[in-house]
Amino acid sequence: MIKICCIGAGYVGGPTMAVIAQKMPALTVTIVDLNAERIAAWNSEVLPIYEPGLYEIVKASRGKNLFFSTDVKNTIIEADIIFVAVNTPTKNYGIGLGKAADTRYIESVARIIAEVSTGNKIIVEKSTVPVKTAETLKEILTSNNHGAEFQVLSNPEFLAEGTAIQDLINPDRVLIGGDPTPEGKKAIETLAAIYAHWIPREKILTTNLWSSELSKLVANAFLAQRISSINSISALCEKTGADIDEVANAIGKDTRIGSKFLKASIGFGGSCFQKDILNLIYLCEYYALPEVARYWAKVVEMNNWQKQRFSHQIVRTLFSTVANKRIAVYGFAFKKDTNDTRESAAIDVCRSLIEECAEVVIYDPKVTQFQIMECLAQGIGKNGRVQVESCPYHAALQSHAILVLTEWEQFKALDFNRIYNSMQRPAFVFDGRNTLNITELCSIGFRAFGIGKS
Ligand code: NAD
Ligand code: UGA
């Protein structure tokens, strides 16, 4: 029986392995992490991450063929296939500061595998890594002196948070990169055979290692580029009376353009888009391609500008001062259906209002008060007053404005008449996600603004 180990019990490791365990009851899947608190949560009734459908899948396999453990070394020793799903954040020190990926976690995993392995193993890069990382892994792994041999594969993950389970069950493609040697091809086939249990063979693409590693960065860069493109046009819509949703709909009907990922917003957030584009920019600079680096840098620049533009519009509209004004914030996660707040645009917007001495009252259906306060700790400083409310109606009470920063479905069902009646006059709504019906809000009495709406 094949034994799988996954190192890193995060947003990727947890859901990915839960789905493999569900689809292949004959495999044993153990997810390990150094973070004991996280592992305890995976073994409890309240999982460390919120993802629709995840709890049910974990519950069905946990203790049968799906295990969560802190025993990293023994799980590695026993495994045939090791997935590496540790974090690869942007470096916040030294060479490549603010751009390069910090690969220290992935390297430390390779060192542990090299140190303890006694039998042959397939090592699978699940984390998003700079192109050529597999070369480093191979070099470290060959330092093993117990006679173990390794095949390194690249198998980047394309799931999006909030839809992780459906993305894993029915992906657009699975990408596996490996060496073109007989051993490399055999390893690719072993991994492909696992996915083939529920994914059609024609969706399983195999490439060389470098194409696979690079494709992951490029996929994220292209997706983020579409958001920056539509957001740049949202600013022009606000000046001209064109409506961004109408423009997106009209251009998206062209099948060469396509309708997805054209939703104007206060900017993309999440742990990966910005990190991966910055990594791509760093790689281009490293390989002496400054024109390419500058091209992709604009995608991040536009995203930052969009977030700032939104905050400035709020202050300007509220008569150029928000000092001591109560501002209700609906949604703090970086998108709906997740409790993840990493790089959420809400953090930047809240920080800039705190800086302007506003009283910010935040409601999010899934993000805890502790997490919100931790995200804003840096921005609170001397000016700030931040409150977290567990009820959207309480958050709105006596407020001057509401900001919709995450497109949670439940916001559409709120009683906005009741909300309007509990607010100060004039009452404003700024919909950063174009989630609510602006015309309806205006008909109640709100002064309502949406991204790309004049
Ligand atoms: P995460 O921070 O949620 O999880 C990573 C986990 O790895 C953490 O729990 C950490 O404690 C653990 N870890 C770090 N070093 C370790 C070590 N030496 N031994 C054991 N555990 C260790 O990160 P994530 O969001 O799951 O992302 C993981 C990787 O997948 C990143 O490279 C990311 O770019 C990529 N990715 C993420 C997503 C996503 O939606 N979040 C999607 C596709 C790809
Ligand atoms: C993204 C990619 O979609 C995944 O394919 C990839 O695997 C993942 O990054 C990763 O590598 O981490 P994720 O960040 O979880 O997934 O979520 P997205 O749905 O891509 O949304 C990212 C951000 O873009 C969110 O803030 C969202 O609100 C914003 N967005 C998305 C828009 O502003 N407009 C859109 O049209 C789509």
For the cut 60, the answer to whether the pLDDT of residue 383 exceeds it is no
Q: 336 CB under 6 A from ligand 2?
A: no
Q: Please compute the mean of the pLDDT values over residues 150-165 and round it to a whole number.
A: 98
List 272, 284, 350, 375, catalytic entry:
272
Res 67: pLDDT? 98
Phi, psi of 247 (to 5 degrees): -65, -45
For the cut 80, the answer to whether the pLDDT of residue 373 exceeds it is yes
Q: Please compute the mean of the pLDDT values over residues 238-265 and round it to a whole number.
A: 98
Q: Please compute the mean of the pLDDT values over residues 93-109 and round it to a whole number.
A: 98
| Cα(283)–Cα(43) distance, integer angstroms | 39
Q: 353 CB under 6 A from ligand 1?
A: no
Question: What is the gyration radius of the CA atoms in the chain, in angstroms?
Answer: 24
For the cut 90, the answer to whether the pLDDT of residue 33 exceeds it is yes
Q: Which residue has the tokens 């063979």?
A: 201
Q: Which residue has the tokens 């819509």?
A: 237
Q: Which two tokens stand for residue 87?
A: 């974090």
Res 384: pLDDT? 65
- For 21-51, give one letter per residue: b (16+ CB within 10 A) or e: bbbbeebbbbbbbeeeebbebbeeeebbbbb
pLDDT band at 225 (very low <50, low <70, confident <90, very high): very high
Count, in order, helices (H) and strands (E) of the chain.
17, 14
pLDDT band at 381 (very low <50, low <70, confident <90, very high): low
Res 1: pLDDT? 86
| Shortest-distance Cα residue to atom 25 of ligand 2 | 268
Task: Please give the mean pLDDT across all residues of the chain.
Answer: 97
Q: 265 CB under 6 A from ligand 2?
A: yes
pLDDT (tens digit per residue) in 294-352: 999 999 999 999 999 999 999 999 999 999 999 999 999 999 999 999 999 999 999 99
Kindly report the pTM of this predicted structure: 0.97
Share of the chain above pLDDT 90, in %: 97
Reading across the β-sheet that carries 150-154, which strands appear in turn? 66-69, 28-32, 3-7, 81-84, 121-125, 150-154, 174-177, 204-207
Question: Which atom in ligand 2 lies closest to the alpha carbon of residue 161?
Answer: 15
Q: Which two tokens stand for residue 191?
A: 């991994």
Mutate to test the pocket of ligand 2, among 161, 167, 233, 411 (most ligand atoms within 8 A of CB): 161
pLDDT band at 420 (very low <50, low <70, confident <90, very high): very high
> Is 375 in the active site?
no
Res 382: pLDDT? 56
Mutate to test the pocket of ligand 1, among 33, 104, 109, 279 (most ligand atoms within 8 A of CB): 33
